[in-house]
Amino acid sequence: MNNTPESPPRNTTAAGVNGERVGATSDELIRDLEHKVRKVVELKRAKSDKLRFAVAKKREEVEKAKLILHDLIKDSEALGLHYNPGNNQTEEGGANKNSMNGDADDKIVEEPNRLQPIASISRRPVYSKHTKINELEAKLEKRAQASHEVMRSTLVLEHIKKRLLSERIEVTQETNELKIQFADLNHQTQELQKKEICASENVNQIQTRLAQQKEDMAANLRKYKREVEMRQKWAREKAKFEKYYNDQMQTLLDSQGQNRSSQLSIP
């Protein structure tokens, strides 16, 4: 059905003006103008009738579409889907908006007019015919790739974290062992210091006794040397005395022998 109204001829007035007879009377001009006005009114009336008929037909189509939509909503609810009729955006507008958002970035925008599944019956998403599945698939692949990268990075970081924790545990164990060894060495050092102090005291005592013994030995040596000198002197004096005694005895014996010989020689 062609709803385009028939436009009145624009050149009617001009043609009438050009076609006016130079000698036309005012009644003829009025009748001509009335004829033209009636023609325009008839055209507008015909156009209005056509538009009324088109509106009535469109209303019938809308009522039929409402009935079909009502039946489809009932069928959708029976299938586990529900539709939000309060949203005033059309599917085409939502599809265009999603395409614009898809061009702007890789975010997956939910369609406002899409049938939503009833969670108690089904969770499978339902898409309209205007949904660009390829773009959604590409976005989902990018998201899956990003998720895979994030998962891989997470696994790497978890591995690094576990390794660092194990190294930290090893360092803690080595630190505890070193602390125990340090405590043992400190205890041994304290014991050695105590032994060193005792040994120093013993050394001091021994050195004191040694000095005393040296002094005693020096005194005894001096006494021994003096006694040796005195004995040597006594031995020399004894030897002199014995020589003197022997000489005296020899002299005495010689004198006695001479006296005897003299007595024997006297008759």
What digits encode the pLDDT tens for the residues 221-267? 999 999 999 999 999 998 988 889 888 888 888 888 777 777 766 65
pLDDT for 11-69, tens place per residue?
444 444 444 455 668 888 898 888 999 999 999 999 999 999 999 999 999 999 988 88
Maximal C-alpha separation, the chain: 256
The pLDDT score that the predictor gives to residue 17 is 44
User: At residue 133, does pLDDT exceed 90?
Assistant: no
Q: Which pTM does this prediction carry?
A: 0.35
What residue spans define the domains of the chain? Answer: 12-62, 80-131
Alpha-carbon distance values, 84 to 25, 88, 98, 143, 262 (Å): 70, 10, 18, 28, 189
- The rounded distance, in Å, linking the Cα atoms of 238 and 236 is 5
User: At residue 83, does pLDDT exceed 70?
Assistant: no
**How many Cβ atoms sit within 10 Å of the Cβ of residue 40?**
13
Which amino acid makes up residue 109? V
User: At residue 116, does pLDDT exceed 50?
Assistant: yes
* Higher pLDDT among residues 95 and 138, named by residue: 138
User: At residue 5, does pLDDT exceed 50?
Assistant: no
Measured in degrees and rounded to the nearest 5, phi and psi for residue 81 equal -120, 155
